[in-house]
Amino acid sequence: MMNEYKGNCHCGNVTFSFKHDEIKTGLRCNCSFCIRRGAVMTDFVIPPEELTIHINEKESLGLYEFGNKTAHHFYCKKCGIYPFHQTFRMPDQYRVNLGCIDRINTESLEVSLFEGKKL
């Protein structure tokens, strides 16, 4: 059964939604960026056409890139929160910050680790 998941940054400037089976697992990455960010992300990717994104003030969505700039890390310039990014391994596909979704308790998820450190 598909659930609709709705998420938002801390101040509510950036919101997103998508449909997926019940989310019971998450993913962390230990690359130089993610180890600092510390978020639990989806362990699946969401195609751009399946992720609905709404930004109240377009210019307030920040973009951070590093290395070969394949991955696009977005953040809200108002509250600093990371809501979603486009991945390094599957460019254009999104992973989202599960902590932004009220109905998900990230502490009760089974979280696996991606060894981004070795890339």
Residue showing the smallest CB distance to Zn ion in the complex: 76
Instruction: Rule CB under 5 A: say whether 61 interacts with Zn ion.
Output: no
CA distance 87 to 70: 7
Considering only 5, 7, 9, 27, the residue that binds Zn ion (CB under 5 A) is 9
Q: Which is nearer to Zn ion, 23 or 79 (CB)?
A: 79
Which among 62, 50, 41, 51 has a CA at the least distance from the CA of 116? 41
Instruction: Rule CB under 5 A: say whether 78 interacts with Zn ion.
Output: yes
Handedness of CA 112, 28, 110, 48 (dihedral sign): negative
Instruction: Rule CB under 5 A: say whether 20 interacts with Zn ion.
Output: no
Instruction: Rule CB under 5 A: say whether 77 interacts with Zn ion.
Output: no
Binding site for Zn ion (CB under 5 A): 9, 11, 13, 76, 78-79
